[in-house]
Each structure stands twice: as structure tokens, then as C-alpha cells.
Amino acid sequence: MALIYILLVSILLCNTNICSSAAVSTSEAVLITVDQSGKGNYRTIQEAVNSVASKNSELIYISIKPGTYREKIVVSADKPFITLSGTEGANTTITWNDGGDIFDSPTLSVLASDFVARYLTIRNEFGTSGKGIALRVSADRAAFYGCRIVSYQDTLLDDFGRHYYYNCYIEGATDFICGNAASVFQSCQLNSLAKSLGIITAQHRNTPSENTGFTFIDCKITGLDNGTVLGRPWGPYSRVIYARTYMSNTISPDGWSDWSDPSKERTVYYGEYKCYGPGADRSKRVGWSRELSRDESAPFLNKAMIGGGNWLRPPPTRFKKHVK
């Protein structure tokens, strides 16, 4: 039944124009280079994004030379099929310093579908005094590979759409992965900076009919021994699954929080499957979380829940010149 429901939701998304109507080649892309020294097509990432035509229908590969780019970047909704790629996350950094409103403060805002980011550090330097989003993803079909996403509170606003994160490092202290997307996090490291109570997720599913939630597969949770919880419900039907994930002793024995609203304990779906490490001991977990069986976990353990087989794409193998 779960797979049938996923297929029906995918069809509905296509019928409401969330699916792309353009036939896009996945092997060839227009190459745009960003180099602060002036040896590329553009000196800033935003200039490169702005150069992409509205309602673009071909793959755009923006190659970013190593360096620290102090920019607040928006990939607008009319610019799909863009890839931003560094060479490795440790030497290609996009950073800004802004806080407050979760939709206005992000260092990088992705509003366009079919977006890919590779080997970038995306950072908000706002600090510990409030919300400072590093990355906002408000679009369907977005994927992130080998990225470092770093802030303190609300680091990743995983707002809506279907998303995939692979081998990423995500760091924060409070609700540092939040929103109402349907997302798979695979082989990622989640690092809690909290010195007392930390919260990894605040998932915002509002009704049982929404096919949204966060699934963490083969991930690793690190941080101080400080009582961090796996999640708390931003929405009453919040859904978060951890599968085959290493949990250090940063995870508190009770594991989850109801955000001081016991009524949500009856409606959230918080599950763990074959997790391990000192923080994975379920003997003192809250009674309203679930230890999932093999059958219960099966619908969440692959990319089918986000329809990934239909839109996740490998890097292009051929490039053509960008014409200004």
C-alpha cells in the first residue's frame, strides 16, 4: 500500500506541473566557470546563476573554483536544471551572516527544481543568538552530494519537495534540519554543537495524507555528551526515521521530544531501525517512538519514497561553452 500511495502522489505532482515537461539531456551540459581571480566566465556565483535564461531547459553546470565566496545566493524558481559544483567541500565555501526570518536569512536559497549541489561548504555565520539558515530548499527534485551545511539554529530549511542528500555533513544545535520536505539522507554525518539540549530535526508534516518526512539511512550522529534528541514535532504528524545509523552518546536516552505538547505523541511517526552505538539504546526511549520491524522500515530504506529513480542524475560527461 505504501508504494501504491507513493506512485499516486508522484502522478499528482506531475499533473500539477511540479514535474518537468521538458526533455532534458542528462549527459551534456553548458559549462559556466566562476573564478574570483577573473579567469572564469564570472567572478561571483550569483552572476553565473543570473546568466541562466528564464525557463531554461538544458543542464547548466556551474563550476566554482576553490575559494571563499561571501555571497547571499538565490536560485530563482524560473531557473531549473542548475548544478553548482566545487572541487571539494573543504576548499569551496559559500558564506554569509544573516539571521531572523527563516525565509530571508539563508546563505543559499534554492527555489528552482532539478537542482544539484556538489562539494560545497554552505555556511551561515550568524552564530548562537537565533535562527540563521545556511541552506533553504523550497523546490522539487534537489540533490546534494558531498556538501557541508553549517550553522547553529535551523541550519537546513528543508522546506518542501523531494530531496536527496548523500555523504553530506550537517552541523547545528537547535532544529538544525527542519521543514516539510520528503527527503532521504544517506551516509551523512549529523553533528550537534549544543552544549546542553540539542535537537536534530523539526519535521513539519501537518496531516497524515502528506507524503513527507525525513529518512536517515546509514548515517552517523556525533557531538558532545549533552542530551541531544533525534527530533521534535514542528507539525502534529511529524515523521522521521533513522535506519542503520550510528548514534554516539550525544543522543539522550529518551531520544525524542514532544515539544511540550503531549497531544502530538499520538500522531507523530518517529521510528528507529537497526541503529547502533551508545546513543541507540532504546531501553529508556519515550514510549511513543517506534522500534521498526523489517517490514515497517522497508518503504523508507531506498530512494523510491522520493521517486529518485525518475530524477536523480549522474554528472554530465560532455560540456559545451557558455555564450553570454
- Residue 8: pLDDT band with limits 50, 70, 90: very low
Is residue 249 scored above 70 in pLDDT? Answer: yes
So what's the pLDDT on residue 224? 86
Instruction: Read off the pLDDT of each residue in 83-87 and give the average, rounded to a whole number.
Output: 96
Contact 185, 216 (CB under 8 A): yes
> Catalytic residue among 140, 154, 158, 159, which?
154
Closest CA to 148 of 123, 176, 128: 123
> Is 101 an active-site residue?
no
Domain 2-12+87-308 sits in CATH 2.160.20.10 = yes
> From CA 16, how far away is CA 127, in angstroms rounded?
39
The predicted-structure confidence for 185-230, as pLDDT tens digits, reads as follows 999 999 999 988 899 999 999 999 999 999 999 999 999 877 999 9
Contact 105, 157 (CB under 8 A): no
Cα radius of gyration (the chain): 19
> Is 175 an active-site residue?
yes
Is residue 17 scored above 50 in pLDDT? Answer: no
> From CA 247, how far away is CA 279, in angstroms rounded?
5
Contact 98, 104 (CB under 8 A): yes
The predicted-structure confidence for 272-308, as pLDDT tens digits, reads as follows 999 999 999 999 999 999 999 999 999 999 999 899 9
> From CA 48, how far away is CA 91, in angstroms rounded?
19
- Name 186's bridge partners: 166, 217
CB environment 71-85: b (16+ within 10 A), e (fewer) = bbbbbeeebbbbbbb
- Amino acid found at 223: G
> Catalytic residue among 140, 158, 159, 175, which?
175
User: Where exactly are the structural domains of the chain?
Assistant: 2-12+87-308
CA angle 140, 20, 314 (to 5 degrees): 75
Contact 235, 200 (CB under 8 A): no
Is residue 166 scored above 60 in pLDDT? Answer: yes
